[in-house]
Amino acid sequence: MGPIMLDVQGTSLSQEDKEIIQHPLVGGLIFFSRNYQSPSQISQLSQQIRNTAKKPLLIAVDHEGGRVQRFRQGFTLIPAMGALWHMSGENITLAQELAQQCAVLMALEVQAVGIDISFAPVLDINNISDVIGDRAFHQQPEYVAILAEAFITGLHSVGMKATGKHFPGHGSVKADSHIDLPIDERDRQEIFQQDLHPFKHLIKNGKLDALMPAHVIFPAVDKLAVGFSHYWLQTILREQLGFNGVIFSDDLSMQGAASVGGFVERVEAAQQAGCDMLLLCNNRAGCIEVLEHANIASSVASTRRLQTLLKANQEPATTWSTLNEHPRWQQADKILSSYHIK
């Protein structure tokens, strides 16, 4: 599988989209709200993409719930994960149940329209970052770990793999990496004891299938932003924490990625640091530049890891038209509806 994940322009494929999807370096595609009109339309687009690719292709979406949910009309409106703690009356057992059922419902609906994974859950701490905020489960790392584990249990129970983000934590720095390069000046001990806790817990328990690093610099640990840091991704994540899953870069079009140069330099640096798949979104000229000029390649190890995320390797997905007949969807729908989550 190619190491580039990119996007398409609209609700159907243009000729340029088709040519790009067929490029040997392209191994993934991510959907945004502009690609969506209805469940039937996005199902058709997913199938059109797979038919065009004529190769294994990982299709993803950011469908966390709350303000980060790309498909809305026709889909269940999943609450922000940070709302579950309050909805449960601060009852940890009930909050775990709600997290698990939200994951089941989300995963089944996303899979039913031909998508492999949603980039979830968020493992950041709801501390001072506005861009994270209620996307995070809680302000305490211990509760983030517990609730995220319940969410992942829900994903796994219906055949979707989990992607934790944004390693090692974006919640404790104010700047938004979409438009800035956040620098977290805290000492190493605080970062490892606080922000890293949910990641360490879930890796140790074998729950995380994939991770996405943050476009954040932690000077007390390394001078490079995490997604470009061999020390963070290889020494700490792979060697010290024992993580064997997929490493996705965060979107390399974001301003937080600009510290290493242009688009070609970004994808080369991210792959050299250890990212298995490189996201390049919302900049078609940048995508073309990378496909034509970047010195990157597919690797056997990355392909092997990426193939484990494909929906075809898991439980056969139901279609959208038969989704409400699925017993797990019915169960999750009933439980969440009782809490007015529908």
What pLDDT digit, counting tens, does each position of 205-224 carry? 999 999 999 989 999 999 99
User: Which neighbouring-strand residues pair with 68?
Assistant: 65
47-63: average pLDDT: 96
Residue tagged active-site, from 86, 178, 187, 293? 178
SS3 336: helix
Return binding residues for substrate: 62, 70, 135, 165-166
Q: Which of 17, 124, 250, 276 is catalytic?
A: 250
Token pair belonging to 15:
């000729």
pLDDT confidence bin for 75, thresholds 50/70/90: very high
**Interval 319-337: pLDDT, tens:** 899 998 999 999 999 988 8
- Give the annotated binding-site residues: 62, 70, 135, 165-166
Phi first, then psi, for residue 159 (nearest 5°) are 90, 15
Which H/E stretch holds residue 292? helix 284-293
Over pLDDT 90: what percentage of the chain?
A: 82
Do the Cβ atoms of 249 and 279 come closer than 8 Å?
Answer: yes
Q: Is residue 222 flagged as an active site residue?
A: no
DSSP 159-206: T---EEEEET-STT--S-TTTS--B----HHHIIIIITHHHHHHHHTT
In angstroms, what is the C-alpha Rg of the chain? 19
Q: What is the mean pLDDT of residues 75-91?
A: 93
CA pair distance 41, 70, nearest whole angstrom: 14
Average pLDDT over residues 81-97: 94
- Judge: domain 4-337, CATH 3.20.20.300: yes
Estimate to the nearest angstrom the gap between the alpha carbon of 259 and the chain centroid: 22
Provide the residue ranges of all domains of the chain, joining segments of one domain with +.
4-337
Report the amino acid identity of residue 255.
Q
State the pLDDT at residue 314.
Answer: 44
Could you tell me whether strands 63-65 and 68-69 are parallel, antiparallel, or unpaired per DSSP bridges? antiparallel
The Cα-based distances of 330 to 84, 105, 335 in angstroms read 20, 9, 9
Mean pLDDT of the chain: 92
Q: What is the pTM of this model?
A: 0.94
- 112 Cα distance to chain centroid: 18
209 near 163, Cβ under 8 Å? Answer: yes
Q: Which of 266, 270, 271, 125 lies closest to 184, judged by CA?
A: 125
Is 250 catalytic? The answer is yes
Give the span between the Cα atoms of 165 and 58, in whole angstroms: 18
pLDDT tier for residue 176 given thresholds of 50, 70 and 90:
low
pLDDT at 189: 94
Residue 180 pLDDT level (bands cut at 50, 70, 90):
low
